[in-house]
Amino acid sequence: MPSRRSDPPRRQSTGRASADPTVLPLHGRSDADQQQRGRSADQQQRGRSAGGQATGRGGISDARRYSPRGRTVREGVGRDPFRPALELLRNEQTDDRRGRSAPGKRSGAGGRTGAARQQVGGRQGSGTVRQGSGTVRQGSGTVRQGSGGRQGGGGRQGAARQGAGRPGEAMPRRATAKGTATRRRPVRKPKRQPRLAEPARRLRAGTAVVLVLFSIIAGRLVMLQLVDARGYALKGLHDRLVTQPLFAQRGAIYDRNHQVLAQAVEAKYVFADPSQINAKAVASTADALRALLGVPTSELVPKLSRKTRADGSKDEFEYLARGVPISTANAVMALNLPGIGVGHDERNEVPGHDLAANLVGFASNNGATGDSLTGRVGLEEGYNDLLSGTDGSHTFEVGQGDLSAPIPGGYDETKAAHPGSSLELTIDRDLQYEFQQVLTKQMQGYHADFGSAVAIDIHTGEVLAQASYPSYDANKPGEYTSDQMIDANTQISLDPGSIHKAITLGAALQSGAIQPDTTVTLPGRSINKGGTNYTDTTPLDRGTKITLPGILAYSSNVGAIEVADKMTPQTLYNYQLKFGLGKSTKEGIPGESAGLVQPPSNWSGSSYGSIPIGDGVSTTPLQMAAVYATIANNGVYIQPHLIKATISPDGTSHPAAAPQTRRVLSPQVAAVLRHDLEAVVTAKGATGHRAAIPQYRVAGKTGTGLLVRNGSYAPGDVASFIGMAPADAPRYVIAVFAHSPGGEGGDVSAPAFQQMMSFTLQHYGVAPTGTAVPTFTLTQ
């Protein structure tokens, strides 16, 4: 029995020399293979005993029985069919390395003993036999022979590997360790073994896929956040933004003493959010609001019903009423109706109601839109841009649906509103009130359908009062017609009649056609021009010589036509223009009529008789008042105007531009006319006695003209009186017009003038001059 050796225990490859009967045969292994496997196991056991290794003690080869998953080969049988083949390949490589480098057991002088190992290989005859110094592996078709193993010094010599030939091919013989020749068995081509897993490759592939995905996501994020971010953000904001107007406070209109004539006051607007109102509650909500707002149910229901705007968005805001008093707004909120709210607004207020209403006009807001107060007529319309200022807005982000409320920290932008400027007029509120009271009473007494009165400061051209009849309450404009809202002094055209004779006499005096003491011989009680007879209301016999004061006092048509014949038609036309006829005064009222005067080229045969006495000439009451103000102002025309100054929102006053002025008559001619016009009030048989004011000298002229409506004359007459006082040192000119079914200017308008001028002189403290009233010679 061989003695124990002190060499280290021989390594055993996992699965090669296992004698465990539980190891399953691989791929149809034959009984001979099993027997060979048994013998190899016995030899292995004897080798262990010969080597001196204790039975049952594991070594490195035993440790290799455990697979990477922590199970032994025996435990893994039946679970992984490829495990034995994998172990076989691994052990072949291990044996190959061992045969080259591992120190083996030596026999005698150091050669290997005849230890043999046999291992299950998975094919028929797959076993390995090592004898002496040589090794033969069978079963896989490969024969490996060591050429003596290690001898003496233990080196391995003559190691040779020879591959298997193809099936049926004669294999060369090779000597075994005992010197006998053996024939190599034909080796079958091994089946392709399964490839081992490659974690590195899978990791690289997975990393590449992840990088591609991240690149796509990153690119999309760049598009969303940088390239298309603004577009998407704006589109999202559009559905969440709500804009509420911030109305600029409208400027006020003051009189010359800074008393309020019209102003904007705080109010509320009532609105609806149809998206918050249930369709079944629309009718009941409209019924609840109808009485408070004064808006018909038929108008409320469409505004309360849900709908979509033209841009596809939901309708979330509708005005139900504008300029609502605060008390009414509080009553609406007390109803606690879903989708109904109120907001800050303003409304126009005229403290005097009808005081200067035809002059100032009114402003209102549109109940269906977000417009601020807008001037509709009068100065409110003419200076709307200056009074309105610039509206602002508050745009903020709100939630959707049940969260329809401002979002804290969301989009919020406020554009401040800039208040409008105010107007300071030349009007005196007290004087305006008196004029309106007198005019209304006088017009109602004569059943006049329109009346007008205007007062001018002759030294400045400022309009101190400008009244119209009928008037209206500017706080309730919806209750009146448009005819009641017009300003009669600037928007009504009429034939002035006899008050035009002052222009005819002034042009003749200034042109030198006549002299202050000139007398005119009358051809009779009438005169024919172009087939038309012109008669006098105060008939004088043929051959009567009438003076210039007589022509004015008796209002002689024949005498005025005879004076006009002493100058050219062009001269009269030129002075008509110089006195301001035929063009707007630009006082400030929108829609002012320019009137119409005909050039001589358009005159017909009758024009030579009608135009000198004020027929066939279209003027406004204000234009004729400016004519007499020119005579009172020593022949200098000053443009009549209403605006004294504008007041900016910070309270700074900016005086209005200076009015246009021009000289029309010399002071001497103007003085002659003032003297002759005084005869109208004081001379015996004159037409204007009812215009006289005790203790004051008054100069003026009565007139009877025609009203022009829609390009034709209306029935009835326009009675007028225009006068100045004190006559010898004039301060003011007042013109009164009235359209009545019949009556002379002296009867209708002169009494109104007398009351208005008396109050004006007392109001401004103008004392009588104390000079004696002159006497006049009317005829010779």
Q: pLDDT tens digits, residue range 606-650?
A: 999 999 999 999 999 999 999 999 999 999 999 999 999 999 999
Give me the count of residues in the chain: 780
The answer to whether residue 220 scores a pLDDT higher than 90 is no
Facing residues of 454 across strands? Answer: 466, 735
Q: Is 171 left (phi over 0), alpha (psi -120 to 50) or beta?
A: beta
Report the distance separating Cα 286 and Cα 743, nearest Å: 55
The answer to whether residue 355 scores a pLDDT higher than 80 is yes
φ/ψ (deg, to 5) at 464: -90, -25
Q: Name the CATH code of domain 242-425 (choices 3.40.190.10, 3.10.640.10, 3.90.1310.10, 3.20.20.80).
A: 3.90.1310.10
Report the distance separating Cα 437 and Cα 433, nearest Å: 6
CA torsion sign for 467, 470, 473, 474 is: negative
CA torsion sign for 258, 262, 263, 265 is: positive
| Lowest-confidence pick of 133-147, 451-465, 746-760 | 133-147
Output the pLDDT for position 710: 77
| Lowest-confidence pick of 199-213, 275-289, 338-352, 399-413 | 399-413
Torsion of CA 668, 669, 672, 676, to 10 degrees: -170
Q: Identify residue 754 by its one-letter amino acid code.
A: Q
Q: Catalytic residue at 30?
A: no
Output the pLDDT for position 168: 46
Output the pLDDT for position 539: 87
Contact 746, 702 (CB under 8 A): yes
Angle at 135 between CA 196 and CA 175, to 5 degrees: 135
Q: What is the DSSP string of 391-448?
A: -EEEEEEB-SGGG-SBPTTS-EEEE--BPPPEEEES--HHHHHHHHHHHHHHHHHTT-
Q: Residues 719-736: pLDDT tens digits?
A: 999 999 999 999 999 999
Return the percentage of the chain with pLDDT > 90, whole number: 53
Mean of pLDDT over the chain? 80
Q: What is the DSSP string of 666-720?
A: -HHHHHHHHHHHTHHHHSTT-S-GGG-BTTB--EEEEEEEEEEETTEEPSSEEEE
Report the distance separating Cα 557 and Cα 700, nearest Å: 17
Contact 462, 644 (CB under 8 A): yes
Mean pLDDT of 387-404: 79
Output the pLDDT for position 59: 52
More confident residue, 26 or 528: 528
The 3-class secondary structure across 520-585, one letter per residue, is EECCCCEEEECCEEEECCCCCCCCCEEEHHHHHHCCCHHHHHHHHCCCCHHHHHHHHHHCCCCCCC
Return the percentage of the chain with pLDDT > 70, whole number: 71
Tokens, residue 595: 């009137």
Tokens, residue 118: 């046999």
Task: Output DSSP code: residue 170.
Answer: P
| Lowest-confidence pick of 228-232, 438-442, 514-518 | 228-232
Report the distance separating Cα 210 and Cα 200, nearest Å: 15
The one catalytic residue in 126, 471, 498, 720 is 498
Report the distance separating Cα 221 and Cα 213, nearest Å: 12
Contact 174, 62 (CB under 8 A): no
More confident residue, 369 or 290: 290
pLDDT confidence of 545, banded at 50, 70, 90? Answer: very high
Q: Residues 15-71: pLDDT tens digits?
A: 444 444 444 444 444 444 444 444 544 454 444 444 444 444 445 555 555 455 445
Q: Identify residue 263 by its one-letter amino acid code.
A: Q
Tokens, residue 70: 């922590």
Give the CATH superfamily of 431-645+656-763.
Answer: DD-peptidase/beta-lactamase superfamily (3.40.710.10)
Q: Which residues contact 144 (CB under 8 A, 6 or more apart)?
A: 96, 99, 135, 136, 137, 160, 161
Three-class secondary structure of residue 465 per DSSP: strand
Torsion of CA 624, 630, 635, 639, to 10 degrees: -110
CA distances in angstroms from 349 to 172, 266, 353, 475, listed in the order given: 130, 10, 8, 6
Mean pLDDT of 342-357: 90
Angle at 756 between CA 755 and CA 759, to 5 degrees: 85
pLDDT confidence of 402, banded at 50, 70, 90? Answer: low
Three-class secondary structure of residue 90 per DSSP: helix
Report the distance separating Cα 265 and Cα 245, nearest Å: 17
- Look at strands 253-254 and 422-425 and give their pairing: parallel
Other C-beta atoms closer than 10 Å to the C-beta of 475 total 17
Other C-beta atoms closer than 10 Å to the C-beta of 269 total 23
Output the pLDDT for position 397: 81
- Look at strands 260-272 and 253-254 and give their pairing: antiparallel
| Lowest-confidence pick of 12-21, 353-362, 761-770 | 12-21
Please give the biggest Cα pair distance in the chain: 193
Every domain of the chain and the residues it spans: 31-169, 201-238, 242-425, 431-645+656-763
Contact 306, 315 (CB under 8 A): yes
Q: Residues 566-594: pLDDT tens digits?
A: 999 999 999 999 999 999 999 989 999 99
Contact 515, 495 (CB under 8 A): no
CA distances in angstroms from 721 to 373, 669, 691, listed in the order given: 39, 21, 8
Three-class secondary structure of residue 478 per DSSP: helix
Q: Which residues contact 193 (CB under 8 A, 6 or more apart)?
A: 85, 86, 89
Q: What is the DSSP string of 319-368?
A: EEEEEE-HHHHHHHHHT--TTEEEEEEEEEE-TTTTTTHHHH-EEE--TT
Tokens, residue 219: 């690119």
Facing residues of 415 across strands? Answer: 393
